[in-house]
Chain A
Amino acid sequence: MIRRLAGATLVIVAVACTGSSTNGSRAGSATLSRIRARGSVKCGITQGAGFATSDSRGQWQGFDVDFCRAVAAAVLNDPAKVTFIPYTQQQRFAGLQSGEVDLLANGTSLTISRVMQRHLHFGPVYFYDGQGFMVPRSSGVTSATRLDGATICVQQGTTTESNLADFARRHAITFHPIVIEDLRGVVSALAGGRCDAISQDGAGLATTRTMLQRPGDYVILPDRISKEPIAAVLRSGDDQWLEVVNWVFRTPMQAEELGIDQRKAKDSLQSSDPTVRRFLGLEPGVVNGFGLDPRWTYNVIAAVGNYADIFDRNLGMNTPLRLERGMNRLWSNGGLMYSPPFR
């Protein structure tokens, strides 16, 4: 409790002590000039296998981390110039809104209440997910609607508990939720038979399954009971910065659509295709602005690759998570990833 109260006090004091920072921008972007002055992008992340983990040398890697690096590559021409700040779900918005970080790329879902009630702004959706269930294979359960009366363990999250309650009400069934603060507590409760199922976002379930002693004994049910469009989160009041983040996050999607990957990035500088030339900033007056390097799109792809590169490296079939692209395929391949034109 003392720890908790101390944490609460710290957050309040942090907010209380943050002087009046000028966030509005009449000439140029305050956030962009702050980033240039300090020489690094401050990116709020949340630790999780595949999305943001730090290795033995303290190097961060993961899907979210790559998008943070893409922003640094675009703004500072160097993907290494990122300061990663790990947040829990509880701290993240306070961290963003007090100005401690420039953006959050930590698996936050875009929802209207966060825009209208919290006055947050969102970048493009860069990962589509949905909440699902994982059960022991021995239970024989094949669909979420068969879980009537079941005890469901969840990690204290944001919309996790309410999605669960909504689903139960919609299907007129009852769940007994057990809300545990730490994910390891959820894992041990499932392994120990305290709960009949756990519920998390689909990618989270894949991560959690790797934490179980016998991953093969557990199945992820096909039901998705919520829409979780993951997007970068920004404070209000800096339009230019919002647009920079918007277009940096779209760059890997557009690169995949144009067939430019990390390996072929250099060769594509010689391309004669006008779409490719406009995209890579070889034709002036299209992608340059806001004081960014004229070749910022190229820098992004050279640093982190296209969307497929980022996905396969961190989440794909050759990683422990073994996630399918699914909804995250390009629109042209039947998925939802769609970048407005770079024109």
Chain B
Amino acid sequence: MTNAPRRNTSRGAGTSAVRGALVQGAALGAVVIVLWWLGHNTLVTLQEHDVPFGFDFLRQPANFDIGDTGGLRFGPQDTIGRAIVVGLGNTLRVAALGCVLAILCGFLLGILRLVANPMVRGVARSIVEVMRNTPLLLLLLFLDATIRQLPGPGEALHPMSGVFISNRGLALPSFAFSSGTLDLPHLAGFNFVGGWTLSPEFAALLAALVLHHAAHISEVVRGAILAVPRGQQEAARALGLSSFQVLRFVTVPQALRAMVPLLATSCVSLVKNSSLAVAIGFPDLVSVLNTTGNQTGRNIEAMLIMIVVYLGVSLAVAAPLGRYNARFLRRVA
């Protein structure tokens, strides 16, 4: 009597698993067929309309210059492929730095929203609310316009030797490894020459991405911390731990479990949002691909590259965080 229903359920689970697999398989098949049809039809139509298709153009010389290469060497005589790599480098540079800073600032803001002091809480809350409720593009244009209010290169702020702050960016001394000397920036004609320059567009984009996403992340952090049962903190307090120790050893480790998947999502959307760079003239991947698409007429190829690269970058960001999360869950379990 007790055995019969158990056999029944196991058989039921078996059929439902088979049914599930069949449905999933059919759905996957349908997606593949639709994608194949779209791709095939695109190629046929392109051929019919006599539009060439291919990626051989990546080896052509770019014939355009990139204003901010982030240290990579690039000139108009280099290939289009290299230009795209420089653009991708710019995207990754701003996204990686942005992601790290957004998580740090988000953590800080989230924790500040939970402290006892009402003034600190209020300030943190107003920052978060303002950032969360304004469009990122608006914030970006605002920051870009603000940085532009700095004096021109002729009247640059000069707080210390070799440091210049102007609407052309932040010029800093750099170390020349070849000669072992310090390379000091100096004004020559229109712009600063030598040293290392942080462009205003990069700064504006980075600041906008960090502020916007830190506000989102702070909510994730706050929610995750609030989700940790109160008893845990009370027990820790009873053991005589300080508030910081409670946070460090009891609350945050447990909150991380709820946080990590959402942090990954935030970073992925930060990567994608970095493409707003075109609005202010930072040469990111989208900007460079738009230029190549315009110049060679290979717009469809450029869009395909864009889709594949963003998909790849997003998966690459999500994968390690996902793995971390899985390991974390195992450890907790």
Interface residues of A (CB under 8 A from B): 1-2, 4-5, 8-9, 11-13, 15-21, 23, 89-90, 93-94, 97-99, 113-114, 117-119, 147-151, 153, 156-159, 161-162, 164-166, 168-169, 175-182, 185, 188-189, 192-194, 196, 235-237
Contact = CB atoms under 8 A, between A and B. Distances in A.
A93 B299 CA distance: 9
B76 A169 contact: yes
Interface in B45-77: 45-46, 48-52, 63-67, 76-77
A193 B279 contact: no
Contacts of A194: 148, 167-168, 200
11 contacts: A16-B42, A17-B38, A89-B294, A93-B297, A157-B294, A165-B64, A178-B201, A179-B67, A182-B279, A185-B279, A192-B145
A242 B149 CA distance: 52
Interface in B286-302: 286-287, 290-291, 293-297, 299-300
Nearest to B311: A5
Contacts of B273: 1
A161 B290 contact: no
B239 to A, nearest CB: 48
Report, nearest first, the 8 A-B pairs whose CB atoms are least far apart.
A161-B64, A165-B76, A8-B303, A1-B272, A180-B281, A192-B148, A162-B63, A178-B281
B188 interface: yes
A90 B189 CA distance: 35
Contact of B50 (A119, A149, A169): A119
B76 A94 contact: no
B306 interface: yes
Nearest to B282: A178
A158 B294 CA distance: 5
Contact of B295 (A19, A98, A161, A192): A161
B41 interface: yes
Contact of A119 (B37, B51, B190, B295): B51
A188 B48 CA distance: 43
A11 B281 contact: no
Contacts of A182: 279
Contacts of B307: 5, 8-9
Contacts of B17: none
Nearest to A156: B290
A237 B77 CA distance: 35
Contacts of A16: 37-39, 41-42, 45
B191 interface: yes
B276 interface: yes
Contacts of A235: 49-50
Given A15-B42, A117-B52, A159-B295, A1 B63 contact: no
Interface in B253-306: 272-276, 278-281, 283, 286-287, 290-291, 293-297, 299-300, 303-304, 306
B6 to A, nearest CB: 49
B149 A192 contact: yes
B51 A180 contact: no
Nearest to A166: B63
Contacts of B65: 161, 164-165, 168, 175, 177
A159 B296 CA distance: 9
Contacts of B295: 158-159, 161-162
A63 B200 CA distance: 38
Contacts of B188: 149
Interface string B60-104: 000111110000000011000000000000000000000000000
A179 B44 CA distance: 34
A151 B64 contact: no
B193 interface: yes
Contacts of A185: 279-281
B65, B152, B189, B191, most chain A CB atoms within 10 A: B65
B178 to A, nearest CB: 21
Contact of B310 (A5, A11, A118): A5
Contacts of A164: 64-65
A191 B90 CA distance: 26
Contacts of A98: 45, 49
Nearest to B303: A8
A237 B47 CA distance: 12
Contacts of B39: 16
A235 B48 CA distance: 11
Nearest to A97: B49
A101 to B, nearest CB: 13
Contacts of A8: 303, 306-307
B13 to A, nearest CB: 39
B300 A18 contact: no
B213 to A, nearest CB: 13
